């Protein structure tokens, strides 16, 4: 099997750079594949002018680089919230992300189930029905664009496990894939490698970072519980040939933060475990 490709997420630069500026910065580190975060003011399609959209495409084409995925982290809204208006608002933002993905030849938009409240939540079936209904609407919107929707396993949602995400994807339809996050899986004490094997060819995109069990992080690899080598072996076992995104979340604006160092050090660990080296 050829070595796995690595992309860098623009997540550390949500507030320090716009999306295009963050990709240019990461290009300076040696990356030519990026996961672009969809979040204001970083990159918010509804506020992008036609000129700015052309600037994204022109730079990507001119540099011969690409966006592997758009990720919308849902920090402010919820596709399975109890308020119909919130659900509709969230789906509209996803539609804009899908349209922008098509413009910049990005194959995937990552969709995250909404967060839950730690005190009292709506019935699980309600949230599931709302989410499935909304994702089906988004699949209709994406049809013919060349953009696929991917569900991600996230601990603070009502669908935290790999099995939850697989079961929900099957309810939505065969067109939907999975963005598997190895750190999220390890944090809830799943075996990420076994989860990958269980998900099989549903896995279209992968996130990796590190965390401990005490605090949920997406930190530099080698600092916590995530073991890249078994993940690489599992990806090989399922015949995965997609991208692995270094989703390191270190706020570039915080004093003492070193996202560049965290990303490149993590890439070195991936290279030792079977991924392509940087540069």
- DSSP tag of 109: E
Distance between CA atoms of residues 244 and 195, nearest Å:
16
Q: What value does the mean pLDDT take over residues 91-108?
A: 98
Backbone φ, ψ for residue 224 (5° rounding): -150, -130
CB atoms within 10 A of CB 55: 13
**pLDDT above 70 for 189:** yes
Q: Do the beta carbons of residue 207 and residue 187 sit within 8 Å?
A: no
Q: What is the pLDDT of residues 35-48, one digit of tens each?
A: 999 999 999 999 99
Q: What value does the mean pLDDT take over residues 115-132?
A: 93
Q: What is the mean pLDDT of the chain?
A: 97
86-95, 99-108, 115-124, 148-157: range with lowest mean pLDDT: 115-124
Say what the pLDDT of residue 149 is.
98
Q: What is the largest CA-CA distance in the chain?
A: 51
Q: Do the beta carbons of residue 228 and residue 162 sit within 8 Å?
A: no
Say what the pLDDT of residue 1 is.
54
Q: What is the pLDDT of residues 226-243, one digit of tens each?
A: 999 999 999 999 999 999
């Amino acid at each position: 099997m050829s070595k796995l490709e690595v992309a860098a997420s623009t997540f550390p630069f949500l507030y320090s750079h716009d999306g295009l500026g963050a990709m240019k910065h990461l290009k300076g580190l040696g990356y030519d594949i990026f996961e672009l975060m969809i979040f204001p003011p970083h990159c918010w399609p509804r506020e992008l002018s036609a000129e700015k959209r052309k600037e994204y495409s022109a730079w990507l084409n001119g540099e011969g680089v690409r966006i592997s995925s758009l990720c919308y982290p849902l920090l402010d809204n919820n596709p399975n919230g109890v308020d119909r208006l919130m659900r509709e608002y969230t789906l509209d933002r996803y539609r804009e992300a899908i349209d922008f993905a098509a413009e910049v030849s990005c194959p995937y938009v990552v969709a995250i189930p909404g967060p839950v409240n730690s005190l009292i939540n709506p019935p699980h079936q309600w949230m599931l029905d709302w989410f499935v209904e909304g994702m089906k609407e988004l699949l209709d919107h994406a049809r013919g664009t060349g953009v696929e929707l991917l569900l991600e396993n996230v601990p603070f949602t009502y669908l935290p496990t790999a099995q939850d995400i697989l079961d929900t994807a099957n309810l939505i339809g065969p067109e939907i894939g999975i963005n598997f996050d190895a750190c999220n899986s390890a944090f809830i004490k799943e075996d990420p490698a076994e989860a990958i094997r269980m998900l099989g060819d549903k896995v279209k995109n992968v996130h990796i970072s590190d965390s401990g069990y005490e605090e949920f992080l997406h930190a530099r690899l080698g600092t916590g519980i995530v073991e890249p080598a078994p993940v690489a072996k599992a990806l090989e076992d399922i015949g995965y040939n997609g991208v692995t995104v270094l989703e390191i979340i270190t706020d570039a604006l915080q004093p003492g933060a070193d996202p560049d160092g965290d990303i490149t050090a993590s890439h070195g660990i991936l290279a030792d475990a079977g991924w392509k080296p940087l540069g």
